[in-house]
């Protein structure tokens, strides 16, 4: 199953996805934003935010269609947030049957068992972080691994359900229909249980069976579905609402110790804030965490167009209906749904004050007040942005105030208009500023040159940079096959050298052409003279005088050409 993809977009000066990414797992190169998969927690906020829809998720709809057409036993695990997505939940389930699925089972039936495991683990350990959200797990494992010991060691309802279905129907294919792409990533981490995933709206793309097929499919479904113990309500249908895990787990209202604190936190920022404000989970805390604000009902594929309160009301209403299969899922093999967690964090890279200052200086941020921390580059502070540049995730010029100041400066306009390549070089011989003509002359992206030694462009032995010296020299650049007059002068006010290249290549080529033309003309004149002389010798008496005159004229012309 594929995950997040991105396509080429006009990202220059946008940076919205970087701004919205809670863990800055996006790198920016050559005017393109790219997701760094190993840093990503799959919250999909960047997908929702991109004005150009540059980030997409590969759809499994074609794969599901092929499964159905092959006549395989395909069972749906339907996430409980579906009831918020549609005004007619029973009609939605019927629609799935009419697409050819042999059973449509609600993931909530496994969530009931998951909650029983949570309750038992909480009683045993006295504190617990629970989550059905793979984004929260990714965040903790990658960015806050000190919290992994507190995570409940039970599979999410999706994985528990898929495992149970595979155990009971070994030949079946399991298709999860849900509100969230991160579930794909979760399923990939334990391969072999979930065969494909559809979002709620993708179900609409599946063609309906013919009337005849429908009758036989319904009969087959009735035969396949066991008569489970009827259960009047499925509390776990509340799982997708913030607080639903707590409510399902402690639905009996049984006596809890006085120290018990049941807390639900949703929204990745809120989860982060809470985790960073605690040193350890206090005794008695039962935490429920969801990356999406309000819970899975507001997942990235749960229907943005529907108001969250309406979704919530629909789910509360649907909970009143008995489960279609009346199932309280018996998890005979509890060990099957146990899981563990590991520290997947990267060792933090620390940059020195000097390194950061150097980057800030290149952006003209010499004083504290120059650091506007405006966030236009996607980073919260200029310092964060400088660190991203050092980490190779951001490009230096991604600074709107800097770009604006540059664009507005008259000197800059002049620099950009001149055909000469102009390079400003620090006293340490590092390139501080270049105009566009530098990129043209050296066939490179001129912005990439900032911070590099001048020697990268011009061999040090070819040009002397010294405050007291005004250097000027004609240089040939063999790799570029170009010639230029290179001059360098020191600007004491700026403590910079100005190196200017005046490109002579075209001029030299023209002169070369002219030289070749002259040579050709001279050779031609010589041939005419020789020819004339030969003829003259043969008929000297008759035409002697005229030939002598022609020879004088041509010899004169030849001398003139050679002298020029």
Residue numbers at the binding site for ligand SF4 (CB under 6 A): 9, 11, 14-17, 20-21, 23, 25-26, 33, 35, 40-46, 49-52, 54, 133-135, 179-180, 182, 290-292, 295-296, 299
CB of 198 to ligand SF4, least distance (A): 14
Report which residue's Cβ sits closest to ligand SF4. 299
- Distance of alpha carbon 389 from alpha carbon 369, whole angstroms: 20
Closest CA to 296 of 174, 187, 158: 158
Q: Looking at the DSSP assignment, which residues form a beta bridge with residue 497? A: 425, 490
Question: How far apart (Å, rounded) are the C-alpha atoms in residues 530 and 310?
Answer: 104
DSSP state of 208: P
Residue whose token pair is 């230096």: 396
Instruction: Read off the tokens for 315.
Output: 């789910």
| 194 three-state secondary structure | coil
Min dist CB 97 to ligand SF4, Å, is: 25
Min dist CB 181 to ligand SF4, Å, is 8
> By the 8 A CB rule, do 1 and 197 touch?
yes
Q: Closest CB to ligand SF4 among 51 and 459?
A: 51
Compute how many other C-beta atoms are within 10 angstroms of the C-beta atom of residue 241: 26
Least Å distance, CB 434 to ligand SF4, is: 25
Of 137 and 415, the one with the shorter C-beta distance to ligand SF4 is 137
Q: How far is the CB of 40 from ligand SF4 (least distance, A)?
A: 3
For residue 253, the minimal CB distance to ligand SF4 (Å) is 26
> Three-state SS across 170-184?
CCCEEEEEECCCHHH
DSSP state string for 468-482: T--EEEEEEETTTTE
Burial class of residue 49 in the structure, from the number of CB atoms within 10 Å of its CB (0-12 exposed, 13-18 middle, 19+ buried): middle
Min dist. Cβ of residue 37 to ligand SF4 (A): 8
3-state DSSP call for residue 204?
A: helix
Collapsing DSSP states into helix, strand and coil, what is residue 508?
helix
Burial class (CB in 10 A: 0-12, 13-18, 19+), 400: middle
Distances (CA, A) of 550 to 52, 237, 538, 542, 553: 77, 111, 16, 15, 5
Q: From the CB of 398, what's the least distance to ligand SF4, in Å?
A: 10
User: What is the CA 166 to chain-centroid distance, rounded?
Assistant: 35
Minimum CB separation of residue 416 from ligand SF4 in Å reads 25
Q: Which is nearer to ligand SF4, 25 or 382 (CB)?
A: 25
In this complex, which beta carbon is closest to ligand SF4, that of residue 8 or of residue 540? 8
Which is nearer to ligand SF4, 68 or 129 (by Cβ)?
129
């Amino acid at each position: 199953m594929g995950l997040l993809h991105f396509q080429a977009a006009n990202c220059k000066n946008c940076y919205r996805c970087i701004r919205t990414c809670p863990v800055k797992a996006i790198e920016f190169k050559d005017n393109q934003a790219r997701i760094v998969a190993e840093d990503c927690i799959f919250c999909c906020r960047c997908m929702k935010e991109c004005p150009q829809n540059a980030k997409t998720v590969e759809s499994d709809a074609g794969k599901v269609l092929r499964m159905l057409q092959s006549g395989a036993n395909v069972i749906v695990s339907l996430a409980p947030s579906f009831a918020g997505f549609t005004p007619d939940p029973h009609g939605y389930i019927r629609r799935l049957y009419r697409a050819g699925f042999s059973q449509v089972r609600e993931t909530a039936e496994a969530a009931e068992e998951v909650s029983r495991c949570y309750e038992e683990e909480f009683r045993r350990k006295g504190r617990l972080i629970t989550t059905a959200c793979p984004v929260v797990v990714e965040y903790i494992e990658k960015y806050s691994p000190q919290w992994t010991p507190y995570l409940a060691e039970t599979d999410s309802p999706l994985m528990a359900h898929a495992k149970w279905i595979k155990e009971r129907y070994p030949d079946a294919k399991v298709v999860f229909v849900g509100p969230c792409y991160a579930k794909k990533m979760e399923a990939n981490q334990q391969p072999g249980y979930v065969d494909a995933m559809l979002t709620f709206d993708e179900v609409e793309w599946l063609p309906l069976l013919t009337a005849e097929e429908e009758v036989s499919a319904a009969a087959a479904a009735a035969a396949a579905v066991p008569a489970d113990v009827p259960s009047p309500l499925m509390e776990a249908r509340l799982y997708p609402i913030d607080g639903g895990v707590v409510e399902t787990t402690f639905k009996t209202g049984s006596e809890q110790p006085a120290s018990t604190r049941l807390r639900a936190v949703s929204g990745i920022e809120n989860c982060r804030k809470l985790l960073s404000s605690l040193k350890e989970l206090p005794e008695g805390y039962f935490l429920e965490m969801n990356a999406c604000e309000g819970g899975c009902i507001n997942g990235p594929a749960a229907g943005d167009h529907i108001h969250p309160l309406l979704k919530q009301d629909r789910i509360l209403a649907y909970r009143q209906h008995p489960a279609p299969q009346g199932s309280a899922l018996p998890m005979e093999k509890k060990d099957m749904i146990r899981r563990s967690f590991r520290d997947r964090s990267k060792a933090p890279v620390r940059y020195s004050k000097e390194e950061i200052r150097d980057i800030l200086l290149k952006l003209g941020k010499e004083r504290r007040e120059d650091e506007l921390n405006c966030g236009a580059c996607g980073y919260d502070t200029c310092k964060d942005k400088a660190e991203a540049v050092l980490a190779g995730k951001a490009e230096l010029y991604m600074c709107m105030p800097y770009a604006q100041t540059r664009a507005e400066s008259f000197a800059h306009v002049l620099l950009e208009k001149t055909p000469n390549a102009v390079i400003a070089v620090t006293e340490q011989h590092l390139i501080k500023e270049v105009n566009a003509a530098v990129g043209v002359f050296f066939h490179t992206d001129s912005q990439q040159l900032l911070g590099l030694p001048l020697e990268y462009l011009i061999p040090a032995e070819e040009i002397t940079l010294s405050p007291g010296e005004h250097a000027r020299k004609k240089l040939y650049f063999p790799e570029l096959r170009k010639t230029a007059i290179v001059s360098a002068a020191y600007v004491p006010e700026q403590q910079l050298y100005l190196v200017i290249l005046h490109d002579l290549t075209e001029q030299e080529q023209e002169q070369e052409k002219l030289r070749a033309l002259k040579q050709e003309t001279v050779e031609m004149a010589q041939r005419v003279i020789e020819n004339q002389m030969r003829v003259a010798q043969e008929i000297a008496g008759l035409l002697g005088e005229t030939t002598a005159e022609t020879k004088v004229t041509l010899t004169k012309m030849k001398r003139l050409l050679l002298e020029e």
